[in-house]
Chain A
C-alpha cells in the first residue's frame, strides 16, 4: 500500500494530534532533566525517500538514534535523534558525569534507550487516549553513527512498496544558559494504513 496525498485538513489534524503527543514527550524529558524543554510545532512533510536523510540533518551527521515501533491499532516507527554533543550532554546530566561521556559503554547505551522508552511512552499514551486506542512502544533500539546509517534500517519496511512517505517531525531543546543546551528531534513515520486510522479517512 502506498501513500495518497494529504488534504489540508488532514495535514492539520495530523499536526495537531502530533503536537499533543510530542508535547507530552517533551514534558517527560523536562521532568528527566529538571528543566523546561521547548518544543517547536511539529511539521508534517510528505517526502520522497531520497530526501529523507536530509530531513534528519544530512546523512553524514553523527548522532545517537533511538528507534521504537509503535504497536497496537496504529503502527509506524518513532525515531529520536540526538546530535552527538547533545547525546553527551544528556548523558552527563542524567548520569551526573563530568565532561565528555563515552557514548559506547553499557550504562550510556541503556540510559539512552530508557530515555527513548520514556519519551515514546509519553507520546503514545497521549496519542492513544486522544484517539481512544491502546498504543504501546516496542523495545527501543539504539545506534550511534552517521544519521543515514542509523535510519536506513527503519526505511526498509516503509519503502518496500512506495517511494513516498509522510513524516512528522519536531525539534526540542532545553533551557539555554550557554552552550550546554540539549537538543534533539522527534520523528513519527506512520505506516500508510495507519494514516487512515489516525485521520479516520
Chain B
C-alpha cells in the first residue's frame, strides 16, 4: 500500500517514494513541490501568504511561500537530497472571486510570484507551473515519478500532469 499524506493549509511535508503527498482545495494558496529524482525524495508545501510581514514573528514556516521553500530545502538536504539536483513545480495561486479592481494584484498572483522569485534566488529550476485562473486545485504529488496531478471541478475531474 502506498503511503498517502495530507498537507494541510500552512504546512509542508517531506516524503520519499513510494508515497503520495496531497494538498486539497487550493484557491489563492499556492502549492510548491521540490524533488530530487535520485533518492526520489521530495517535499510539498501548502502556503497561504507570499511572505512574512516584517516585524512579525513566524511560528510556522509552512504558512509563507519564502519561508516554506527555505525550510523544505533545508530538510531535504538534511535527509540526503543534493542541492544541485533539486527541481520545483508550482500550482495554485488562483483569484477565486472576480473583483472589479483589476489593477490590484491579488494574493494568489502574489503567492505565485513569490514562489518564482524565491526559487530563482535559490537557483532551483522551476520545471512546470499551473497557476492563476479562478478555480480551485487539488494536488497529488507522486514521489515515485515526481509528477503532480492537478484536479479541478471544472468538467468533472481534470487531470493535468505537470
On A, residues with C-beta under 8 Å from B are: 49-53, 58-60, 62, 67, 141-143, 145-153, 155-156, 159-161, 163
Report chain A residues within 8 Å CB of B153: 62, 145-146
A153 to B135 Cα, complex, angstroms: 12
B96 touches A153 (CB 8 A): yes
A49 touches B48 (CB 8 A): yes
B25 touches A148 (CB 8 A): yes
Q: A141-B99, A151-B27, A152-B29 are in contact. Are A50 and B9 (CB under 8 A)?
A: yes
A61 to chain B: closest residue by CB: B25
Interface size on B, residues (CB 8 A): 29
A33 to B33 Cα, complex, angstroms: 46
A60 to chain B: closest residue by CB: B24
Count how many pairs of residues, one from A and one from B, have CB atoms less than 8 Å apart in the complex: 98
B146 to chain A, nearest CB (A): 23
Identify the stretch in B55-63, B75-83, B119-127 within 8 Å (CB) of chain A at 4 or more residues: B55-63
Q: A49-B48, A142-B97, A159-B48 are in contact. Are A153 and B56 (CB under 8 A)?
A: no
B136 touches A146 (CB 8 A): yes
Judge if B8 is at the interface, Cβ distance under 8 Å. yes
Q: A50-B10, A146-B153, A148-B136 are in contact. Are A160 and B27 (CB under 8 A)?
A: no
B10 touches A148 (CB 8 A): no
A152 touches B9 (CB 8 A): yes
Judge if B138 is at the interface, Cβ distance under 8 Å. yes
Report chain A residues within 8 Å CB of B11: 50
